[in-house]
Chain A
């Protein structure tokens, strides 16, 4: 019993003063290439700034507001705040399980998107690779951060690029 308590004490002290960065956080993973392909599409024609302008149109269509952009590096960042679960479902959980459970549920979320346009090596000025990455932060009703995560659902990227293809076309036609 005493040994256990001292072990627990050591654990508490160690956890209290530090918590380390995971080893794999800054190393390329076996699925890195696959993820890059999932998040990227190639576009031909136009100028880099035109592609980026088309991207800004699409993120605005999706309800994002632009946070940052650097045209010279082909970077644009946008975000939106949305409800993470409907008030109705939280009410239902409150009735069934109680208010604490309902308050611990996801309530609001901030979704961020980053778009990077890059010239295709060897075809600078003609072809571009567009890569989009998403992440979100989710809070519960107590205002506590419930989740921090990247969003890698293939459907999300597919839909984004479908919209972008149309937008690039519209930009090209100057509609």
Chain B
């Protein structure tokens, strides 16, 4: 009996560890803010904001996203992909210096922030193909 109860009790205890005050989510910041920004950002050698945003939009469409919102002035695009899961992503385009734009993307998968570098790397690889420009890391 104990052999069954013990693992169940252990599972329950560990899962309770996952519980936290849910309102804290509103102000949560990933483990390392600077690192997260680097993972989510790339610089491109162009200053054409409008063309860059149109490329971001068509790349998102190529990836199966449906656009939710787009704002040229603010430089933001938000889109959602539904494929048995919900993946929502915001992409912002801002001038970095006189010759470059910086593109930052952040994604949430189901109800979690995506903090793993690999999906962002895949996104910027897809975007580079559309931009005909290399994505450069941002320090």
Contact = CB atoms under 8 A, between A and B. Distances in A.
Same complex origin of A and B: yes
A135 B70 CA distance: 18
Interface stretch (A5-13, A91-99, A167-175): A5-13
Interface string B77-107: 0001111111100000000000000000001
Contact of A9 (B11, B64, B109): B11
Interface SS of chain A: helix, strand, loop or mixed?
mixed
Contacts of A17: 15, 18
A133 interface: yes
Interface residues of B, number: 48
A72 B57 CA distance: 13
B46 to A, nearest CB: 15
B34 interface: no
Nearest to B14: A13
B125 A118 contact: no
A1 B3 contact: yes
B48 interface: no
Interface string A100-116: 00000000000011101
B31 interface: no
B72 A73 contact: yes
A88 interface: no
B119 to A, nearest CB: 5
Nearest to A129: B58
Nearest to A152: B64
B11 A12 contact: yes
Given A70-B70, A133-B61, A13 B54 contact: no
B28 interface: no
A139 to B, nearest CB: 13
14 contacts: A5-B4, A5-B8, A12-B15, A21-B116, A32-B62, A32-B63, A36-B62, A70-B69, A72-B72, A74-B54, A75-B70, A131-B58, A134-B66, A135-B81
Given A25-B87, A148-B85, 15 more contacts: A5-B4, A6-B7, A12-B15, A17-B18, A21-B116, A25-B81, A26-B63, A26-B123, A26-B126, A32-B63, A112-B66, A114-B61, A114-B67, A134-B66, A148-B83
